[in-house]
Structure 1
Amino acid sequence: MGTRKEHDFIGELEISDDVYYGVQTFRAVENFNISHDRLKNFPRFVRAITRVKKAAAMANRELGLLDQEKEGAIIAACDKILAGGYYDQFVVDMIQGGAGTSTNMNANEVIANIALEHLGHKKGEYQFLHPNDHVNLSQSTNDAYPTALHLALHDYLTDLATAMGYLKKSYERKAEEFKNVLKMGRTQLQDAVPMTLGREFKTFAVMIGEDIERILEVRKLVLEVNLGGTAIGTGINSHPDYPKVVEKKLREVTGHEYKVAEDLIEATQDTGVYVQISGVLKRVATKLSKVCNDLRLLSSGPKCGLNEINLPKMQPGSSIMPGKVNPVIPEVVNQVCYSVIGSDVTVTFACEGGQLQLNVFEPVVAYSLFNSIIMLEKAMKTLADKCIDGITANEKICSDFVYNSIGIVTAFNPYIGYEKSASIAKEALQTGKSVADICLERGYLTKEEIDKILTPANMLNPHMGENK
């Protein structure tokens, strides 16, 4: 392949004819070799900015700002990308200076050059269709980039909610499977009162179900965009009717009810939605990590720990200790959660650091949020498939813990009172006798009464006894 000459106001460069991006993308690739994660690695973001460009072209045509031939070529180019082509041409680093200008120009140049070929021209013959004058018409990076970020977040959050629902079903299946497995509940890592293993897993399902609702709530916030605000929200260099027309076209292109913000100056500088999304992701990560901690505790052992459940054996756990198997799936999910919690700090500082009419740090916000969502999605599917679905219960160990525990003395409270129950607990700790035997020896209750009190039905459900 040969080369072509392209220029910007800084100067002229030789660009290989086999690439569809142009001079400004080339400079960005040279300037920003930071994360090693390119735009092409986040296909939903590529699709999002392509949809923004398609909607803009349709709006510009309706307003008479773009002729039919150029509009058709831009739409054809966008459709080729949306069909899965040319992703390898989106090469700028996700973390970049310039508030996303490099990403915006990468899209503008690739779409322009695909459109030029569609029209029968060569790449770089921008006199026929220009990246700025036509693909970027009525736009600025400052409204196109955040709008694309909103579109991508909507899709990524949808993926995450689906993965969370997948994990929730795994918890629910185990809740049903273990519904009759009696075990000891614990508070502050100390014996508390009995419950079932099924109820423990049902709680996990309820917890993640609540978080699915929070994800769907925060997803609604990204439906408001600042497209049409151009540079700072005043709409300079755009038609007065452009915001309402492009809103209609954006809905048509995406199939979602996006709306242009009423105050575009505010919407251009306000990054509160990213803070809120990040906060919800931190909530999800915190609770998910707590569940993984519980799984590791419950499966600890096998001889010197709780050993109430068995996690699937995924791999040998030690290079020196034969037979050791580690809870590697909960461990990796824990680490994902720690990364998400750390990214929340990054998003917070990036959003706080914006000045005046624009926040220039949106690229690191995008990178942090996308990575957090993608890792959480993968982690939840991994946890469901490689851990939760294969868990088995050690029913005898669970049951023995209950009946040998001091904690079941709580069940006697409604019948003999707190003081007598506390005295029984003290003697049981000192002598090793069971609380049932001590209660019988002291004549507080008959064997029949004790057996009735210690039935699962009485220990697991609300009821009031007759205090003697």
Structure 2
Amino acid sequence: MTDAVEYRLEKDLLGEREVPASAYFGIQSQRAKDNFDLSGVTLAHFPKLINALAMVKQACALANTELGLLDQQRCNAIVAAGDRLLQGQFHQQFVVDMIQGGAGTSTNMNANEVIANIGLELMGHARGDYQYLHPNNDVNRAQSTNDVYPTAARLGILLSHGDLVESLVSLQASLRDKSHEFADVIKMGRTQLQDAVPMTLGQEFGAWASTLGEDVRVIAALSELLKEVNLGGTAIGTGINADPRYGKLAIKHLSSISGFALTQSEDLIEASSDMGAFVLFSSMLKRLAIKLSKISNDLRLLSMGPRAGINEINLPPQQPGSSIMPGKVNPVIPEAVNQVAYQVMGHDLAICMAAEAGQLQLNAMEPLIVYNLLESMRLIKRAMVMLEKRCINGITANHQECADMVHHSIGLVTALNPYIGYENATRIARRALQENRTVIDLVEEEQLLPAAELRRILEPKRLIHAVQDVAVQ
């Protein structure tokens, strides 16, 4: 027999409702918990978003107190409750599903109620005894979901941004290390999956490092867009129920608390409905996901084999690859990165549709935007850590396989084209394919170049870098 659950009775505009006595959330969070049983992913899944909400509530309380609109005792309780959240406590009390109707009202009220009840206990009162600290009248004073939620969403992304960039920089550095390690491994480059011209394996890895480096810079630049917030606009940007000085004062406190130099939007009405910054940031995440997926595709192709494929590199084995084929090992890490990338691309599409669905002075679909952005950041970060630690760092090169492919490739004839002419080069390439012979053998056989000259032209350093002494035909 289980112990009976004790309840307290709370009321809102719809009437009375029982809330578990042990809960720090209140009646509105309970209703949302029951209504939105959708993704199964609650606010507690994203600690940085909870921290952002706590910071916003602290900043607003400090601003209201400075303006004489909230007494010091209540302000102290709100700030102290926020500190508890920032320490990682009570996060399990954020029970509302990330996907919700109401443009984020349930998220805002979950924060208001939890902070109020933590504050009540700190003040020596019982949970639910809101006459001493009220979720709406005190914690939500001079605020609306419509300025609190987007402000907290932007701040939550900024708080998560550092971890994302750190993982990206680390992965880039690992690829750069491999480019140095493989700097002397000559291999064939390929276009349209066909032999092209020689390069080094190091150059290939270096190109991957460079493309990720571009995204480090762009993500940093785009994050600046998220530092413009609409706090102080309240319901639709007109600032109703807020002191004219309140918004900028609250943002000043929020900047100090968060460590980010936040600014107030110039047009608060526009900012209350505009999702443009989120769309741009999502597009950047999609771009990064596409690049990671392309790198993963290349890793899978280059490691094909081990006997019947390209087999230029070896990926570190992570688990048996088949329940029926003994000895088979699959490229499971790049495959998993591919799937993360596809999910992020799907998130971006959902964000675009949700942003477009804004109507008049508000976008009611913002919870979906926030959920997908934070989830994309979480997935990409974890995927990059996995790719680096469980794949990139352990890759080895098959030197002989790479060298043999270069020696037997028709692509070598491109390097000879300036010396023997396009028509001769074309004929040699055709003969090499038809007779299953190497380009070098046929050039020597036809005495198109002296042996010493041929060796000089095909020196590895000349094959992989531009030279100035090309013969004039």
Shifted more, 45-54 versus 409-418: the winner is 409-418
What is the distance in 2 between the residues matched to 1:93 and 1:247? 27
In structure 2, what is the equivalent of residue 446 of structure 1? 450
CA drift of 1:157 comes to: 2.1
Deviation of 1:215 after TM superposition, in Å, equals 1.1
Q: Does 1:201 align with 2:205?
A: yes
Number of the residue aligned with 1:467: 472
Task: Work out the CA distance in 1 between the residues paired with 2:303 and 2:88.
Answer: 44
Q: Report the 3-state secondary structure (helix = DSSP H, G, I; strand = E; otherwise coil) of the residue aligned with 2:19.
A: strand
Q: Distance in 1 between matches of 2:271 and 2:250?
A: 16
Aligned position for 1:40 = 44
Question: Counterpart of 1:65?
Answer: 69
**Aligned match of 2:337:** 333
- Residue 424 of structure 2 is aligned to residue 410 of structure 1: no
Task: Tell me the SS of whatever aligns to 1:66.
Answer: coil
Indicate whether 1:31 and 2:42 are aligned.
no
After superposition, the C-alpha distances for 1:373-408 in whole angstroms (9 at most, x for unaligned) are 100000000000000000000000000100111000
Task: Name which of 74, 85, 98 aligns with 1:94.
Answer: 98
For 1:465, the aligned partner's letter is: V
Q: In the TM superposition, what is the alpha-carbon distance from 1:118 to its structure 2 partner?
A: 1.2
Shift of 1:451: 0.6
- Secondary structure of 2:11's partner? strand
**SS in structure 2 opposite 1:222?**
helix
2: CA distance, partners of 1:4 / 1:444: 95
Aligned to 2:53: 49
1:62 to partner: Cα distance: 0.6
5 Å-filtered alignment, 1:216-235, equals 216-235=220-239
Write out aligned runs for 1:301-312 (5 A).
301-312=305-316
Cα distance in structure 2, aligned partners of 1:70 and 1:250: 18
1:152 Cα deviation after fit: 0.5
Q: Which residue of 2 is the match for residue 299 of structure 1?
A: 303
Q: Which among 122, 135, 148 is matched to residue 126 of structure 2?
A: 122
**Shift in Å, 1:3:** 2.6
Q: Is the 8 A contact 1:417 1:467 kept in 2?
A: no
Please give the alpha-carbon distance, in whole angstroms, between the structure 2 residues aligned to 1:3 and 1:386.
Answer: 48
CA–CA separation in structure 1 for the residues paired with 2:155 and 2:408: 57
Unaligned runs of 5+ in 1: none
> 1:2 offset after TM fit, Å?
3.8
What are the equivalent positions in structure 2 for 1:294-443 lying under 5 Å apart?
Answer: 294-443=298-447
**CA drift at 1:467:** 3.4
Q: TM-score, normalised by structure 1?
A: 0.99
Q: CA deviation at 1:274?
A: 0.9
Tell me the secondary structure at the aligned position of residue 231 of structure 1.
coil
Provide the C-alpha distance between the structure 1 equivalents of 2:217 and 2:118, rounded to a whole number of angstroms: 41
Task: Assess if the C-alpha contact under 8 Å between 1:73 and 1:118 holds in 2.
Answer: yes
User: For 2:26 and 2:127, how far apart are their aligned partners in 1?
Assistant: 9
The alignment's TM-score, normalised by the length of structure 2, stands at: 0.98
The answer on whether the counterparts of 1:40 and 1:90 sit within 8 Å (CA) in structure 2 is yes
- Aligned equivalents of 2:104, 2:227: Cα separation in 1: 20
Equivalent AA in structure 2 for residue 151 of structure 1? L
1:169 matched to 2:173? The reply is yes
Name the SS of the counterpart of 1:194 in structure 2: strand
Distance in 1 separating the partners of 2:329 and 2:87:
45
Quote the Cα distance in structure 2 between the aligned partners of 1:379 and 1:419.
49
1:239 Cα deviation after fit: 0.2
Residue 282 of structure 1 corresponds to which residue in structure 2?
286
Which structure 2 residue ranges, 5 or more long, are not aligned?
none
Aligned equivalents of 2:48 and 2:294: distance in 1? Answer: 30
Give yes or no for the alignment of 1:84 onto 2:94: no
Percent of residue pairs bearing the same amino acid type: 53
Shift of 1:444: 1.2
Residue 214 of structure 1 deviates from its aligned partner by: 1.4
Match in the other structure for 1:245: 249
Distance (Å, rounded) in 1 between the aligned partners of 2:15 and 2:35: 15
